[in-house]
Structure 1
Amino acid sequence: MLHNAAQTYQSNQVTTASPSELTLMLYNGAIKFIKQAKLSLAERDYLKTHESCIKVQNILYELMSSLRREYPISGEFNKMYDYMLRRIVEANMRKSIEILDEVEDLFVQFRDTWKEAMVLAKTQG
Structure 2
Amino acid sequence: MATYAASSPTAQYKQQSILTAPPGRLVVMLYDGCLRFLFQAAYAMREGDKTNSQDRMRRAEAIIDELTVTLDHERGGEVAARLQGIYAFCRRHLIEASLERNPAKIEEVSELLTELRDAWAEIADAPRPTA
Q: Is this a same-fold pair by TM over 0.5?
A: yes
Q: Which amino acid aligns with 2:16?
A: N
1:106 to 100, 108, 112: 112
Q: Which amino acid aligns with 2:19?
A: T
Please give the secondary structure, in 2, of the residue aligned with 1:44.
coil
How many residues of Structure 1 are paired with residues of Structure 2 in the alignment?
Answer: 122
Please give the secondary structure, in 1, of the residue aligned with 2:124.
helix
What residue is the counterpart of 1:24 in the other structure?
28
**Is structure 2 residue 123 aligned with structure 1 residue 117?**
yes
Structure 1 gaps of 5+ residues are none
Deviation at 1:55, TM superposition (A): 0.5
| Max Rg structure | 2
Structure 2 gaps of 5+ residues are 1-5
Q: Residues 40-119 of structure 1: matches in 2 within 5 Å?
A: 40-70=44-74, 71-72=76-77, 73-119=79-125
The answer to whether the 8 A contact 1:56-1:88 is kept is: no
Higher RCO (CA 8 Å, separation ≥ 6 residues): 2
RMSD over aligned CA atoms reads 1.6
Q: Percent identity?
A: 25
Structure 1 residues 38-47 or 50-59, which shifts more? Answer: 38-47
The answer to whether the 8 A contact 1:37-1:50 is kept is: yes
Deviation at 1:49, TM superposition (A): 0.2
Deviation at 1:10, TM superposition (A): 2.2
Determine the C-alpha separation between the residues in 1 that align with 2:129 and 2:122.
12
Cα deviation per residue 1:13-48 (whole Å; 9 max; x = unaligned)? Answer: 221111111100011111100110111112110000
Determine the C-alpha separation between the residues in 2 that align with 1:86 and 1:99.
10
Deviation at 1:7, TM superposition (A): 2.9
**Structure 1 or 2: more helix by fraction:** 1
The answer to whether the 8 A contact 2:24-2:121 is kept is: no
